[in-house]
Amino acid sequence: MIAPDPNPDLPRVRLLPKANARAIRHGFPWVYANELVTDRRTRALAPGALAVLEDSARTPMGVVAVNPVSRIMCRMLERDPNAQVDRAWLTARLSHALALRTQLYDAPFYRLVHAEGDGLPGVVIDRFGDTAVIQPNAAWAEARLEDLVAALVEVTGVSTVLKNAAGRTRALEGLDDVSAVLVGTAPQAPLPVPMNGATYMADLTGGQKTGLYYDQRPNHAFAARLTGKGTRVLDVFSHVGGFALAMLAAGAEHALAVDGSAPALELAAQGAAASGVADRFETRQGDAFDTLTALAEEGAQFDVVVCDPPAFAPNKQALEAGLRAYERIARLAATLVAPGGYLGLCSCSHAADLERFRASCTRGIGKAGRAGQLLQTGFAGPDHPQLPQLAETGYLKALFYRL
């Protein structure tokens, strides 16, 4: 008896014999263009089209989203080749994601969808109370944005949905960079976000990424445990006050926030005021490397120094230069840590794995003439779940040393 053809209305795309079908069967969610039979029919598929993926023996493996213009030509959506990827499917995925966050957090401020980690490849959704910011960074999500937004409103009850189209990922998918208000009205002022006893101000329309980095929440909390009466804090690449505000809320005596962005530092100052710690908070705008050097020349010393730079190694081509930059940051920062003080070093570069990042940081500390105990290795919070088969979903690393 011949088995029924799964999803007969969908086209087929097929793996080449050399492709690693076993990895895909075991959960790896991407198929690269050089792993597929790319005939004229496959190349003619519209970006974001759905198809049934077959192995080289034509055995169905699941439903994928296809983008012929992307290096990641297929993204696995469902391992059941008979699955219907429609609005009801989106609603189920979002409900599953929301259930986790509702269990983890008392207030609706979190990353609601972490792309492949939540089974929605390329989709990032951050929630700020009644407002959600969505980044549809894959062609399939852009093509189904209306259904995705409708499902989001149905599941969460948010009244405002903003689309953030910034970032290089969309360009790699052949998508535009036009952000928009999809539901409701864009907030006219930064929104207050409570985390770790502090209040952060998130600019959802003009700020970086979706307006706030939720991923560092547990690392902010650990840094806050290192503070006490008289603690002096230096927060480098501070953005809107990430580590500094959490440590001030925990009782630090003074915090200096350093960032290259004047708007980010203004938001940090507003957050300090909202947190009731403005009298203990100071900002300095400038290049991080130059500022660290200047502080050392001034003879400055801090009890806790934390550096949370942007991705120095966003891809494999930039890895060696990125590792040198992490080493340099560690060396400069270590000179500013008082004896017995603490140094926190972070990386959001998925290309720099934990072992290499840790080696660069430790080498930099040594070149500063310091010795360090590694106390804590932190990662992104549980609202950023990892897909174990995809290293990119576990990009964030935070190392805390006692010098």
* CATH code of the domain in which 271 resides: 3.40.50.150
Between residues 115 and 166, which one has the greater pLDDT? Answer: 115
**What's the Cα-to-Cα distance from 27 to each of 21, 76, 82, 122, 395, rounded to whole Å?**
10, 9, 18, 16, 18
**Active-site residue, 74 included:** no
Tokens 């490397």 label which residue? 289
Structural domain contains residue 3: no
The residue among 127, 156, 183 that closes a domain is: 183
Q: Which of 307, 346, 348, 361 is catalytic?
A: 348
| pLDDT per position as a tens digit, 361-386 | 999 999 999 999 999 999 999 999 99
Q: What is the mean pLDDT of the segment spanning 134-162?
A: 98
* One domain for residues 251 and 398: yes
* One domain for residues 253 and 355: yes
* One domain for residues 298 and 177: no
Instruction: Give the number of domains in the chain.
Output: 3
* One domain for residues 277 and 150: no
CA distance 196 to 202: 15
* One domain for residues 224 and 309: yes
Structural domain contains residue 312: yes
* DSSP states along 315-352: SGGGHHHHHHHHHHHHHHHHTTEEEEEEEEEEE--TTS
* One domain for residues 111 and 25: no
Element spanning 255, H or E: strand 254-259
Question: What pLDDT sits at residue 4?
Answer: 66
Element spanning 304, H or E: strand 302-307
| pLDDT per position as a tens digit, 67-97 | 999 999 999 999 999 999 999 999 999 999 9
* One domain for residues 98 and 169: yes
Take residue 95 and report the two structure tokens written for it.
């409900």
* One domain for residues 376 and 234: yes
Beta bridge partners of 284: 258
Other Cβ atoms within 10 Å of 283 Cβ, number: 20
Structural domain contains residue 373: yes
Q: Is the dihedral of CA 57, 61, 66, 72 positive or negative?
A: negative
Q: Is the dihedral of CA 24, 25, 29, 31 positive or negative?
A: positive
Element spanning 247, H or E: helix 242-249
Question: What pLDDT sits at residue 241?
Answer: 96
* One domain for residues 146 and 214: no
Take residue 94 and report the two structure tokens written for it.
């979002």
CA distance 93 to 52: 20
Look over the chain and give the mean of its residue pLDDT values, rounded to a whole number: 95
| pLDDT per position as a tens digit, 104-147 | 999 999 999 999 999 999 999 999 999 999 999 999 999 999 99
* CATH code of the domain in which 160 resides: 3.30.750.80
| 3-class state of residue 184 by DSSP | coil
**What's the Cα-to-Cα distance from 64 to each of 80, 178, 195, rounded to whole Å?**
10, 26, 37
Q: What is the mean pLDDT of the segment spanning 279-298?
A: 98
CA distance 9 to 231: 65
Tokens 């969908």 label which residue? 10
Question: What pLDDT sits at residue 211?
Answer: 81
Q: What is the mean pLDDT of the segment spanning 219-238?
A: 96
Structural domain span for residue 297: 191-402
Q: In 3D, which of 358, 371, 336 has the Cα closest to residue 258?
A: 336
Q: What is the mean pLDDT of the segment spanning 163-184?
A: 93
| pLDDT per position as a tens digit, 300-348 | 999 999 999 999 998 889 999 999 999 999 999 999 999 999 999 999 9
With a CB cutoff of 8 Å and minimum separation 6, the contacts of 100 are 382, 383, 385
Question: What pLDDT sits at residue 1?
Answer: 43
By the 8 A CB rule, do 353 and 322 touch? no
* Separation of first and last alpha carbons in the chain: 70
Structural domain contains residue 2: no
* One domain for residues 335 and 231: yes
* DSSP states along 97-155: HHHHHHHH-SSSEEEEEEGGGGT-TTEEEEEETTEEEEEE-SHHHHHTHHHHHHHHHHH
Element spanning 254, H or E: strand 254-259
CA distance 356 to 283: 31
Q: Phi and psi (nearest 5°) for 74?
A: -135, 140
* One domain for residues 370 and 221: yes
Binned at pLDDT 50, 70 and 90, residue 3 comes out as low
Task: Quote the pTM value.
Answer: 0.95
